[in-house]
Each structure stands twice: as structure tokens, then as C-alpha cells.
Structure 1
């Protein structure tokens, strides 16, 4: 049996994290291309994955603003 949790950032589904059977960690599976760099990363808890996705989104938003300026 596995446990899965949806990871959302700014009202969009960034991906899910899944814990398989006896594992103590969660693997991130991206659902949107912008989160592909996080795909396959391991987190100790779903909240850690959510924070990472939020931070990644914020970094990319700042880079887009700089590129447009």
C-alpha cells in the first residue's frame, strides 16, 4: 500500500508525493513541466515537498521578471 499527497502551489497542482509500502520518505512526481526539475526528488515529509515546490516557483517567477526588465 502507498500513501500519496497532492502538492499545490498558487492554486495549481505542482505534483504529488508518494510513499511506497515501508519507505520512510516521499518521492515527488511533477504534474506540470515547470516542476520537472523536482521530479524524482526525495523528501522526508509531504510538507517539505510543498515548501520546495513553493520556493522553486518563487525563484522562477523572479527570474522571469528580471528577464523581462
Structure 2
């Protein structure tokens, strides 16, 4: 099992997750995902889902304005 994964949302890099003793720590690759920076996830798939949901929420906020 790998220790580092790239997380992409809509073919754009959201960040990377790196295994640490607590789980997988997220490091944002763009300012858009800075609010997620430093969060810990159980696994890379959980981080990917969270990034996707975060992006969907941000998109809904933009279209609602």
C-alpha cells in the first residue's frame, strides 16, 4: 500500500494525502482546497470523497450567489 496519493477533482489536483501515524494527512495543491489543508482521513478514498464534496459545496455557493 502506498504512503502518498494525489487527490484530483474534475481532473484538477486538489491536493495530496500522506500517510502519518494518525491516518492520511491532506495537503492542498491549490488555494481552492486550503480549508481542507491538514485534515486527517482514515484512507485516501475518504480524502477523495471529502475533496469532491467540498468542491461541490463551493460550486453550489458560487451558483447560488
- Normalised TM-score (structure 2): 0.93
How many residue pairs get aligned? The number is 64
Which is greater in Rg?
1
Structure 2 counterparts to residues 1-69 of structure 1, below 5 A: 3-20=3-20, 23=21, 25-67=23-65
- Normalised TM-score (structure 1): 0.88
Displacement after TM superposition at 1:24 (Å): 5.1
**Structure 1: segments with no counterpart, 5+ residues:** none
Deviates more, 1:23-32 or 1:46-55: 23-32
